[in-house]
Amino acid sequence: MREELESRFWKRQLAESRQAVAEQYLELSRRMEDWKQELACTQDVTAEWRKKRKGILRTMGLELYQVLLFQQGRQKEVCMTIRTEGRLVNSRELAEAVDGLGGVHWHLTPGEPAILTGKMHQVLLEAEPGLTMHFGVTRQTRHGEAISGDGFTQQRLPRGRIVMALCDGMGSGPVAFRESGEALELLEHLLDAGYSAESAARLVHTSLLLGESRERHPVALDVCELDLYQRTGHLTKLGGVCSFLKR
């Protein structure tokens, strides 16, 4: 009986491992298709920007080398390649210097460094999406517990994307808190790497199920991705009971 249970366990682990690898390759293919479409929506606006901002940038000790503009619907993004002659440059000051070009209010893309060092740099700017989001959270511990086993995160990503996530660690107390925190940390890393919220959530869920320790408990994930440009939202639910969105 025990050998049969062991066999079933490892067969299930193998099947889930194959599924996880297949999902990663599928996500990679989606990203490659996205890059292909982005190239079709990109144009070189170096001459126009250099003509309108050459004087201001020169006073800052900067030289505009190339500017590529990506535009898709309400979404606009520029990739600026600049020479700094080895000076330290405040990225926000650079964004302010080109603000208004193309009739757009530009700001730094999330994740861009605040200070530029070295001689050549690529800086990503994106248009203000026209919408803002306020984020708040409250939590309550289980009766008799000092620590809640639930975790949460909110992450602002490039191109107007905002991801909010709730993670319910199975059980309660410090163990559930640690496991939900590990799941959310892995989710954040995958989002930073460019995974969509849905793919990242599924990969986190699968990875935890395939953990090396059988003592690890599964977690329930609720991940909501908002697109401030398209003004849409997508909710991914993995594990646990049903979730509700309140308008």
- Provide the pLDDT confidence category of residue 209 given band limits of 50, 70 and 90: low
Predicted confidence (pLDDT) at residue 114 exceeds the cutoff of 90:
no
- Provide the pLDDT confidence category of residue 125 given band limits of 50, 70 and 90: very high
Say if residues 63 and 82 touch (Cβ distance below 8 Å): yes
Q: How many CB atoms lie within 10 A of CB 245?
A: 8
Q: What is the pTM of this model?
A: 0.75
Q: What sign results for the dihedral spanned by CA atoms 231, 189, 204, 240?
A: negative
- Provide the pLDDT confidence category of residue 9 given band limits of 50, 70 and 90: low
pLDDT value of residue 162: 93
- How high is the mean pLDDT of the chain? 82
- Calculate mean pLDDT across residues 42-49: 90
Least confident of 1-5, 49-53, 106-110, 128-132: 1-5
For residue range 127-142, what is the model confidence (pLDDT) as tens digits? 988 888 888 887 777 7
What's phi and psi for 161, nearest 5 deg? -95, 135
**Distance (Å, rounded) from C-alpha 35 to C-alpha 154?**
26
Say if residues 208 and 16 touch (Cβ distance below 8 Å): no
